[in-house]
């Protein structure tokens, strides 16, 4: 369906209709509001120090008192997201007015208008050209300027994470469509990123992609849709295994944290071969399509056993780097998924204090309250780690935490395994399997850095 909308000259969207049986030409009040024209510019560089006009995005905003920002049920559906993103032109019939959208303009009947020049935020029509997208009338920079350009690819990754955040706040009627409804956008971006797409994560940015987190309650700008473990066959390290709003850090100034080797503390050793089913692996497995792809992701790093601390999270003095994330109002919002971490078996000091080594952000409230045989941190960057639990070493058709007494991580419908093959020798062969249940913010770098690196398989 993505090709239909991407190649359409114009898309007419019945935004206010609840189903195909509903009408969308509603009774509307007369709109007699005048708009005010405002020019704006913003620096493209993250430090904002450049005065060069060429380094600024400039445009014109037509502002007015909006009659109604409510569009209707269409904008809450997951399937309509990529249709709206990929359509070059859209006439949208909302509850109160008609809205026009294209790659250069968004205009409403009440006078609100946004004219943009330069690179439009998250617009596929300002992504690089390719032989596969010439029919989309892309007027942006030629493809030769994008080939091998790391700065441009970094911006495309930011676009992807913004689109992913918006998409995951929407509802999907069929749980198995979690990845299907983003496949069209992923296929278009793959042409420019020149990267494998592995269960919703780009290999070229895999460390950051693995550090997706619960998007509920940690930022006021995020739509609070709590995560829940989904009854679908997807690895625990992929966002496809959960339902709800997810967030991946997507600020341009923080990109080096995930690309600079000096900031990385782990290495993904193998991602498997790219296959035609990579855009929609959930449905491919449900249709019994044979695949050599493995759920196992071998990662080499330092694994540290931890436990939830009894220390009061609300009273804990968080290190300065996390104060912006956990200023007091936000702490209250994320209590259902946040907890302090301490070394396993730790005893209180003479002062009655405990050593806090990290802050856990569990993927769901159920993950936080469950009991686990083994809870570990696997540090991926200087400041961030994966939160893992030990998984069964030889049980088929059973989710990792079900076998270990915890909450379900991925409820496999069939006893299907995907062999990795003998690609590792000696110390680089994974000895144990783990499943992801969240991420951890590093508080004690020295303690987490102790010990030897090992290879583990995350399933």
Question: Residue 197 pLDDT > 70, yes or no?
Answer: yes
What digits encode the pLDDT tens for the residues 391-402? 875 443 344 444
What digits encode the pLDDT tens for the residues 321-356? 676 666 556 677 788 888 999 998 776 555 556 789
The arithmetic mean of pLDDT across residues 169-188, rounded, is 88
Q: Sorting pLDDT into bands at 50, 70 and 90, what band is 61? A: confident
The 8-class DSSP code of residue 11 comes to E
Residue partners of 427: CB distance under 8 A and separation at least 6: 454, 455
What digits encode the pLDDT tens for the residues 136-150? 334 344 444 445 567
Q: Which two tokens stand for residue 42?
A: 């913003």
Predicted local distance difference test score (pLDDT) of residue 326: 61
Residue partners of 47: CB distance under 8 A and separation at least 6: 253
Q: How remote is the C-alpha of 112 from its chain's centroid?
A: 30
Predicted local distance difference test score (pLDDT) of residue 46: 47
Question: Residue 50 pLDDT > 60, yes or no?
Answer: no
Residues of the chain with pLDDT > 70, as a percent, come to 66
Predicted local distance difference test score (pLDDT) of residue 114: 67
Predicted local distance difference test score (pLDDT) of residue 324: 63
Is residue 44 within 8 Å of residue 57, measured between CB atoms? yes
Dihedral sign of CA atoms 287, 291, 296, 297 in order = negative
Predicted local distance difference test score (pLDDT) of residue 54: 52
Question: Residue 165 pLDDT > 60, yes or no?
Answer: yes
Which of 44-53, 188-197, 270-279, 319-328 has the least mean pLDDT?
44-53
Question: Residue 362 pLDDT > 70, yes or no?
Answer: yes
Is residue 110 within 8 Å of residue 130, measured between CB atoms? no
Angle at 117 between CA 72 and CA 246, to 5 degrees: 45
Predicted local distance difference test score (pLDDT) of residue 191: 83
End-to-end Cα, the chain, rounded Å: 31
The arithmetic mean of pLDDT across residues 181-187, rounded, is 91
The arithmetic mean of pLDDT across residues 59-85, rounded, is 78
Give pairs for 43-46: CB < 8 Å, separation 24+: 44/118, 44/119, 46/251, 46/252, 46/253
Q: What is the mean pLDDT of the chain?
A: 75
């Amino acid at each position: 369906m993505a090709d239909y909308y991407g190649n359409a000259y114009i898309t007419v969207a019945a935004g206010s209709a609840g189903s195909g049986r509903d009408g969308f030409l509603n009774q509307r009040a007369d709109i007699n509001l005048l708009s005010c024209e405002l020019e704006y510019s913003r620096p493209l560089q993250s430090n904002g120090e450049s005065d060069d006009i060429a380094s600024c995005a400039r445009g014109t905003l037509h502002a007015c008192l909006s009659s109604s920002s409510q569009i209707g049920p269409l904008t809450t559906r997951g399937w309509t997201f990529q249709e709206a993103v990929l359509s070059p032109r859209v006439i949208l019939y909302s509850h109160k007015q008609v809205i026009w959208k294209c790659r250069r303009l968004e205009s409403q009947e009440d006078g609100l208008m946004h004219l943009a020049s330069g690179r439009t935020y998250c617009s596929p029509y300002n992504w690089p050209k390719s032989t596969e997208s010439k029919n989309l009338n892309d007027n942006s920079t030629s493809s030769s300027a994008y080939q091998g350009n790391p700065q441009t690819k970094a911006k495309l990754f930011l676009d992807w994470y913004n689109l992913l955040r918006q998409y995951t706040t929407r509802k999907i009627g069929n749980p198995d469509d979690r990845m299907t409804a983003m496949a069209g956008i992923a296929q278009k971006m793959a042409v420019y990123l020149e990267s494998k797409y592995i269960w919703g994560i780009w290999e070229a940015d895999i460390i950051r992609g693995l550090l997706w987190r619960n998007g509920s309650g940690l930022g006021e700008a995020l739509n609070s849709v709590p995560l829940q473990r989904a009854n679908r066959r997807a690895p625990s390290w992929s966002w496809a295994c959960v339902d709800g709003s997810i967030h991946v850090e997507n600020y341009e100034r923080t990109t080096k944290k995930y690309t600079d080797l000096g900031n990385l503390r782990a290495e993904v050793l193998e991602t498997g071969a790219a296959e035609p089913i990579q855009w929609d692996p959930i449905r491919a497995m449900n249709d019994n399509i044979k695949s050599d792809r493995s759920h196992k992701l071998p990662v080499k790093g330092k694994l540290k056993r931890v436990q939830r601390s009894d220390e009061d999270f609300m009273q804990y003095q968080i290190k300065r780097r996390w104060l912006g994330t956990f200023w007091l109002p936000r702490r209250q919002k994320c209590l259902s998924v946040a907890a302090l971490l301490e070394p396993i078996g730790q005893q209180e000091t003479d002062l009655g204090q405990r050593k806090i080594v990290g802050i856990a952000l569990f993927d769901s409230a159920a993950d936080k309250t469950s009991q686990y045989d083994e809870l570990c941190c696997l540090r991926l960057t200087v400041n961030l780690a994966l939160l893992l639990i030990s998984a069964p070493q030889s049980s088929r058709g059973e989710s990792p935490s079900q076998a270990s007494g915890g909450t379900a991580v991925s409820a496999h419908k069939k006893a299907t395994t995907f062999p990795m093959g003998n690609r590792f020798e000696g110390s680089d062969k994974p000895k144990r399997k783990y499943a992801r249940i969240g991420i951890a913010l590093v508080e004690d770098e020295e303690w987490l850095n102790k010990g030897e690196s090992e290879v583990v398989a995350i399933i």
